[in-house]
Amino acid sequence: MPVASSLSYRLDSVRSQREDPKLPLSVSVSYPQLRSVGSTDAVPANISGFNREVARFVQSLITEIDSVAKENAATEVGVGAGLQVAFKPYTLTDKLVGVNLTVTQDGIGPRSITWINTFFYDLKRGKKLAARDVFRLSPAFKKTVAAALQKNGTGSECEPDASTLDFDNFCVAGNAVYFFLGDVQVGHACPTRQLQIPLAALQPYVVNQTLIQAAK
């Protein structure tokens, strides 16, 4: 994970934990928030934009699991609900932040569901980046990603193909591009994992070299 020697912000973790044995319900979340340190090229409003978007996402998960727990308690005796959220930073520069959040939900379906949501955020523009902001998503690009999937695959049903991969669940960090996979993305009960591709392999499809440089 590339980290500038003197960032104009710091990355804090906000934690919340709650148990309600009557429903039953268990909530344990940890998510990132940025705090300004001195002067910064990213105006406070843009830092606040990242914080607001991440917090809104996590709060929506909490609201959903609260509703699920109450519904389960009313209709299915003994069926509880649970939510866990954890995060890992990949890119921390004065212009870009790349963090993925791993979400595990219990009680929503017949089994536990684990999936990933990645925030690759442009602090200068105050925008969560999509893959098309960085790469040309041409057939050749998808073919290159598909080849990387095959090299990293195990031949099981847990391996997706590039035609269904969520390319927006990604970030660029240093000299690598990461795509993040969970069982929701794959469609089976599969472990979350990351697909790491050397940036050089995807360089021919880069449409915004400035963003690539900002991730280093």
pLDDT at 109: 80
Q: How many structural domains are present in the chain?
A: 1
Is 184 a residue whose pLDDT tops 80?
no
Residue 164 is assigned to a structural domain of this protein: yes
CATH classification of the domain holding 206: 3.30.565.40
Q: Is 162:145 a contact under the CB 8 Å cutoff?
A: yes
Structure confidence at residue 147 (pLDDT): 83
pLDDT for 161 beyond 90: no
Is 3 within a domain? no
- Within a domain: residue 2? no
Q: Looking at the domain assignment, is residue 210 inside a domain?
A: yes
Could you give the CA distance from residue 34 to residue 10 in angstroms, rounded to a whole number?
Answer: 6
pLDDT, position 203? 97
Question: What's the CA gap between 126 and 42, in Å, rounded?
Answer: 8
pLDDT at 125 over 50: yes
Decide if 45 is inside a domain.
yes
Rounded Cα distance between 106 and 73, Å, is 13
Mean pLDDT of the 125-151 span: 90
- Residue 151 in domain: yes
- Residue 1, in any domain of the structure: no
State the pTM of this model. Answer: 0.87
36 forms beta bridges with: 9
Mean of pLDDT values over 14-34: 96
Q: pLDDT digit string (tens) for 198-214?
A: 999 999 999 999 999 99
Give the rounded percent of residues in the chain with a pLDDT score beyond 70.
82
Any long-range contacts for 46-53 (C-beta under 8 Å, 24+ apart)?
46/123, 46/124, 46/125, 46/126, 47/9, 47/123, 49/126, 49/127, 50/97, 50/119, 50/121, 50/123, 50/126, 53/119, 53/121, 53/128
Residue appearing with tokens 């955020």: 121
Buried b vs exposed e over 185-206: b needs ≥16 C-beta within 10 Å?
Answer: bbeeebebebbebebeebeebb
Calpha distance 214→174 (Å, rounded): 9
pLDDT band at 164, cuts 50/70/90? low
The parent domain of residue 63 ranges over: 9-214
Does 1 score more than 80 pLDDT?
A: no
Q: What are φ and ψ of residue 117, in 5° steps? A: -125, 125
Question: In the prediction, which pLDDT does 186 show?
Answer: 47
pLDDT digits (tens, 9 = 90+) for 80-113: 899 999 999 999 998 999 999 999 999 988 888 8
Is the pLDDT score of 175 beyond 70? yes
